Chains A and B, each alone.
Chain A
Amino acid sequence: MHTNTWAVRIGVCTLFMFGFFLPWWPFMFLAPCIALLYGYWVLALFLALCADLVFGAPVGLLHSLIFPCTVAILFSSVVRSVIIRHLR
């Protein structure tokens, strides 16, 4: 189980780096989503913040969010936490 934990963490970071060097941005967005899915919200936030720094502020409607991926991951982690508390 401990091995699985580190496999997920390393895998997610590898996916993020792969997205940066390939380069294909959806991988960089997918990595924090997978990290959040497995419950590693600090890692997910860190990767989302890195992705936002690389992507820059979005153009158009989402411009005012500045860090849209980070905001999305924050929102998702709160929703996940609330759902887990209510389903327990």
Chain B
Amino acid sequence: MARTSNPFSSRSVYSTGRKPGGWFSFRSFVFAIVCLVLLGAGVFWHREIESAAWALMSPLQRARVGLDSSDNQRLRAELASTTALLADRNALYQETIELKNRLGRLPAQTSGERILAGVLMRPPAIPYDTLLIDAGETEGVHSGDFVSAGGTTRIGTVGEVYGHTSRVILFSAPGQTYDALLHLSSTTQIVPVSMQGQGSGSFVGQVPAGTPVKVGNSIVFPGVASALAGTVSSVLFDPKQSFVTLYARLPVDLVSLRFVEIEKNSYAH
């Protein structure tokens, strides 16, 4: 009897006229072998398999990205870059005023070595709030390096590193938590805040009730060379609660992001 394709018919798939076998049929044996191979691949060789797969797929993806370079795409990319630079400039302005007030405490000199990389895949092409970029181990990328969208606008860290590609985990990835500083409107006031990633480029955090937080305030990483991590996009205050919940967004538009910079030897963990 022919095998039917009705998904709701439990009998049709097995109605071959044969007496059904026990649990140790050939099909079960193949299934067990597949499970064991997948388990082995997952535990021991997942990095090598992914690296080999991306060695094959990255030229295809590069070609696709290259074909998609219309004027509209170019302008959107420039707009995203400008938005990031503007947000960066505002954070730097606040920091400069604060530092001048403290009479000449200059930020420590960093090596400043950066690797420019193109974005091959971004949300919504891949889930988990990650980016796939076209620089890898060969180009000197290391797992844990900070990734910025230009200037001091940090957007994430390098996760998996393959031969010529790497995976970037954005700060807004679900389950990621970071200690940051909230710059309030008045230039000298900062509030420590723990930001938690929510996916789709957004974070959530809480500050004590009464904190004068406003939409547009900057969130930066602690340190003398403060790096911009996000801007407050919404503030929720419930009078019954002792905390104000604030929502923030990454300072760049992920859909239009074409290039990122990897800060070499700036290990995040």
- A-side interface residues toward B, CB under 8 Å? 1-2, 4-5, 8, 20-26, 37-39, 41-42, 45, 49, 53-61, 66-67, 70, 74, 77, 83-84, 87-88
* Nearest CB in chain A to that of B162: its residue: A56
With a cutoff of 8 Å between Cβ atoms, the chain A residues found around residue B5 in the complex are 1, 4-5, 8, 38-39
Bound: A59/B11 CA distance, A: 40
In this assembly, does B125 line the interface, its C-beta being within 8 Å of a C-beta of chain A? yes
Question: How close is B166's CB to chain A, nearest CB, in angstroms?
Answer: 10
Bound: A64/B22 CA distance, A: 33
Question: How close is B127's CB to chain A, nearest CB, in angstroms?
Answer: 5
With a cutoff of 8 Å between Cβ atoms, the chain B residues found around residue A58 in the complex are 127-128
Residue in B50, B57, B64, B128 whose CB lies within 8 Å of A59: B128
With a cutoff of 8 Å between Cβ atoms, the chain A residues found around residue B34 in the complex are 42, 45
Q: Are the CB atoms of A25 and B125 closer together than 8 Å?
A: yes
Q: Are the CB atoms of A59 and B130 closer together than 8 Å?
A: yes
Bound: A83/B176 CA distance, A: 38
Q: Beyond A1-B2, A55-B128, A83-B10: 17 further Cβ-contacts under 8 Å?
A: A1-B4, A5-B5, A20-B125, A25-B125, A39-B5, A54-B121, A56-B167, A59-B129, A59-B130, A59-B169, A60-B173, A60-B176, A67-B38, A67-B42, A74-B35, A87-B10, A88-B14
A-B contact pairs, 25 of them (CB 8 A): A1-B4, A1-B5, A2-B2, A8-B5, A23-B125, A24-B124, A25-B124, A26-B124, A37-B7, A39-B5, A45-B34, A53-B49, A53-B53, A54-B53, A55-B127, A56-B126, A59-B169, A59-B174, A59-B176, A60-B173, A60-B174, A66-B43, A70-B42, A74-B35, A88-B20
**5 A-B pairs with least C-beta separation:** A60-B175, A23-B125, A59-B173, A53-B53, A4-B5
What size tier do the contact residues of chain B reach? 35 or more
Bound: A77/B34 CA distance, A: 12
- The residue in A41, A57, A70 that gathers the most chain B C-beta atoms within 10 A of its C-beta is A57
With a cutoff of 8 Å between Cβ atoms, the chain B residues found around residue A87 in the complex are 10
Given contacts A84-B13, A88-B11, contact A23 B124 (CB under 8 A): yes
Question: How close is A55's CB to chain B, nearest CB, in angstroms?
Answer: 5
Q: Are the CB atoms of A59 and B124 closer together than 8 Å?
A: no
In this assembly, does B134 line the interface, its C-beta being within 8 Å of a C-beta of chain A? no
* Nearest CB in chain A to that of B173: its residue: A59
Bound: A62/B169 CA distance, A: 14
- The residue in A25, A53, A56, A88 that gathers the most chain B C-beta atoms within 10 A of its C-beta is A56
* Nearest CB in chain A to that of B30: its residue: A42
Scan B1-19; emit 1 where CB is below 8 A from any A CB, else 0.
Answer: 0111101001101100000
- B-side interface residues toward A, CB under 8 Å? 2-5, 7, 10-11, 13-14, 20, 31, 34-35, 38, 41-43, 46, 49-50, 53-54, 57, 64, 121, 124-130, 132, 159-160, 167, 169, 173-176
* Nearest CB in chain B to that of A7: its residue: B5
Residue in A21, A59, A70 whose CB lies within 8 Å of B38: A70
With a cutoff of 8 Å between Cβ atoms, the chain B residues found around residue A4 in the complex are 4-5
Q: Are the CB atoms of B46 and A59 closer together than 8 Å?
A: no
With a cutoff of 8 Å between Cβ atoms, the chain A residues found around residue B57 in the complex are 54
Q: Are the CB atoms of B175 and A23 closer together than 8 Å?
A: no
Q: Are the CB atoms of A55 and B126 closer together than 8 Å?
A: yes
With a cutoff of 8 Å between Cβ atoms, the chain B residues found around residue A37 in the complex are 7
